[in-house]
Structure 1
Amino acid sequence: MPGPTLTDIARAAEVSTATVSHALNGTGRLGAATRRRVRETATALGYGTRRTAPRTRTLGIAVTTFPTAWNYTEIAYFSRVVTAATSAAHARGYALTALPAARAGDDVWHSLAVDGMLIMDSPRGDPMVTALRARGIPLVFDGAPGDPHPGDHWVDNDHVATTREVLDHLRTSGARRIALQSGHGDEHYARVVTRTYEEWCAQRAVPPLVIPFDEGDDEGHAFDEVLGRIDAVHAVYDPGGRQLLAAAARHGLRVPEDLLLVCASEDPGYAETDPPVTTVTLDPERTARTAVSLLVDLIEGERPAPGQADAACPVLVPAGLRPRASSRRRVMY
């Protein structure tokens, strides 16, 4: 028969699972009385008597942006984050479990056996975050959380500076009517990029034009009504560049001669399209390594736990613009 879990011990000792992990592994900043009480509770429950070794230290990773099932590992950014996070976790002696999307409402979050959780694109009102906070599980976010708490830790890019860099790049290349293709989700990324775009347009007395992103719109029909009124597009999500190229082809428009394009994507295939598409990289590998390092430090007591600091603790990773032919039209005045 399996022995008790860390959750069982935490419930019996009236502490968090993180405290149990610290007490049993000799880590963290615990008082001697707390550490002794947790270990005595574990012994009383039979922890270690029906197993040959303690549970492997484990991190979890998940995307909770949308409440529906979708395979986020098919998206280049998330795939690269998961791969890099796995490598970084192994280097620190932890396993990493990638959880499927659309599990935020399940009871699994109330009993998930992890020492810490890396959460990507957490929206406001995220029930998974609520459940894990209640259990005292250390959390680190990829992207600012929708509901930040004092002392939260997250890793993100400077989306304001990056969006302005893209728009200035397009304007320098001759664009005067730039549209933004952005998401309608509640993640921090879409909200910040859209707000920055609208502010950039207001500063130049140009009306903003935001085109809603639809992942299933392979032919780019969302662009059909606006292609005659714009001369550039900044696509915020991975498929957006190909959607714009498809729409331009259907309307007989040339990229970059008639229409400039920049797409935020980690997909290396954009270097091989016709024309090659200018992309923005958010450096997922560096983001993942930084996030895992923060999370393990929290678990092992090397950083203040959430709620014990006066302010949130974001870490910024630089994004990068990779200019290619799709945004390099030269304008002669």
Structure 2
Amino acid sequence: MSGPTLADVARAAEVSTATVSHALNGTGRLAESTRRRVREVATTLGYGSQRIPRAGRNLGVAVTTYAGSAWNFLEIPYFARLLTTAAATAHAHGYALTILPATCGAETPWHTLAVDGMLLLDSPTDDPVLRALRARGIPLVFDGRPVDPRPGDVWVDNDHTATTREVLGHLAASGARRIALHAGYGDEHYTRVVTRTYEQWCHERGKAPLLLTFDPYDAPGHGFDALFAARACDAVYAVYDPGGRQVLAAAARHGLRIPDDLLLVCASEDRAYADNDPPVSTVTLHPETIAETAVTALISRLSPTAPLPPSPGALAVPATLHPRRSSRRRARPGRTRPGDR
């Protein structure tokens, strides 16, 4: 079958064929909005997808949660450990692995990207990268449930509902009465499920949720100032890796001792938390297992001779709570905690 032509793209974008050529090749003197619109139309139509040879055993990986933002996801232990294992797994099966930068957004020439399949991490609502890859028919596997999964989609994820309830139950058993959740930054499935589960858990116990929005640039943890100054919570579950360090910084500034005055659990793959004084309780999502499972599933989708291609839906990887001193408190007789009054 022949794919759409240059003229087809020009008609759909309401421009000349010369403008289409300039937009797709990065030449000519075009307004950036025109260049972007033409590329989006070409991607949607699947222009070029019939002409681009397969990459020759090459897989791609994109972290699309904040696609277009210039952030270094390799600084985050979760992504660093996942991508290291993803590369090793791909190489073990004879595939190369291309890790795309976080700035890959609408401007990335997805219509010419030469990959056999893609692994998408934390795909958000209305993901332009996902839309472009679907238009080309590129086989996909997701780390984290896609917001709007289609029949046949495969994703690898943890049971965030069960994990969140385990963490909250652990904190409550350690004496916490007012637990704050430090989340709400991203629009990926992980954040939304954790937040919804926390709100349900609070509702079941007749407590008002204490939600704080994570700010990646708030290293001193000023987002906790009002809460800590009022002694309005006695425990925090931080669902992003830097959140635990922000809590520690803010607690020290407000004279809160961990775990005597404040309990802390952080979802993180950073082993340095275990060396903190006191050691910080963490939740590991097992990124290495997720990576190996996801890449193996993607390669199985590409191979017509795969003995057991993955079934559509979720491939579950259990998370693990590692309780340490930061979330273990022995109750003191006569002690009054925030929320007891």
**TM-score normalized with structure 2 length:** 0.79
Structure 2 counterpart of 1:329, one-letter code: R
1:233 maps to which of 208, 224, 236: 236
Match of 2:293 in 1: 290
**Cα 1:112/1:305, change in 2 over 3 Å:** farther
Aligned to 1:315: 315
| 1:183–1:236 CA contact under 8 A, matched in 2 | no
- Counterpart in the other structure of 1:17: none
Q: Deviations over 1:94-117 (max 9, x none)?
A: 000100012121242121100000
Other-structure match for 1:220: 221
How far apart are the structure 1 equivalents of 2:2 and 2:139?
14
Aligned to 2:16: none
Q: Aligned in 2, Cα 1:156/1:203: closer, same or farther, shift over 3 Å?
A: same
Query: Could you give the per-residue CA deviations for residues 120-169 of structure 1, whole angstroms, max 9, x where no partner exists?
Result: 00001111111111111100000011221111000000000000000000
Within 5 A, what are the aligned runs for 1:147-166? Answer: 147-166=148-167
Task: List structure 1 runs of 4+ shifted beyond 4 angstroms.
Answer: 9-12, 303-306
Instruction: Using the TM superposition, give the Cα deviation of residue 273 of structure 1 relative to its aligned residue in structure 2, in angstroms.
Output: 1.2
CA RMSD of aligned residues (A): 2.3
Structure-to-structure mapping, 1:63-142, within 5 angstroms? 63-67=63-67, 68-142=69-143
Q: Is the 8 A contact 2:56 2:116 kept in 1?
A: no
Opposite residue 331 of structure 2, the aligned amino acid is V
Name the amino acid aligned to 1:99. Answer: L
**Residue in 1 aligned with 2:267?**
264
Aligned-residue sequence identity (percent) comes to: 61
Q: Determine the structure 2 residue equivalent to 1:274.
A: 277
CA contact (8 A) 1:155 1:290 kept: yes
Q: Secondary structure at the match of 1:214?
A: coil
For structure 2, the residue ranges without an aligned partner over 5 or more in a row are 5-49, 334-341
CA distance in 1, matches of 2:2, 2:184: 40
- Code of the residue aligned with 1:292 in structure 2: it is V
Instruction: Describe how 1:197-216 pairs up with structure 2 within 5 A.
Output: 197-216=198-217
User: Residue type of the partner of 2:248?
Assistant: L
Instruction: Name the structure, 1 or 2, with higher relative contact order (CA <8 Å, separation 6+).
Output: 1
In structure 1, distance between residues paired with 2:309 and 2:157: 19
Deviation at 1:304, TM superposition (A): 9.7
Do the aligned partners of 1:151 and 1:305 also contact (CA within 8 Å) in 2? no
Give the Cα–Cα distance (whole angstroms) in 2 for the partners of residues 132 and 303 of structure 1.
26
TM-score (norm 1): 0.81
Letter in 2 for 1:325: R
What is the CA–CA distance in structure 2 between the aligned matches of 1:266 and 1:304, rounded to whole Å? 31
Query: Retained in 2: the 8 A contact 1:121–1:144?
Result: yes
Q: For residues 171-195 of structure 1, what are the alpha-carbon distances to aligned partners after superposition, in whole Å with 9 as ceiling and x for unaligned?
A: 0000000000003321110000000
Which letter does structure 2 place at the counterpart of 1:65? T
Q: Deviations over 1:49-77 (max 9, x none)?
A: xxxxx954100001000131111111000
Q: Does 2:326 match 1:326?
A: yes
Aligned length: 284
Distance in 2 (CA, whole Å) between partners of 1:154 and 1:144 is 6
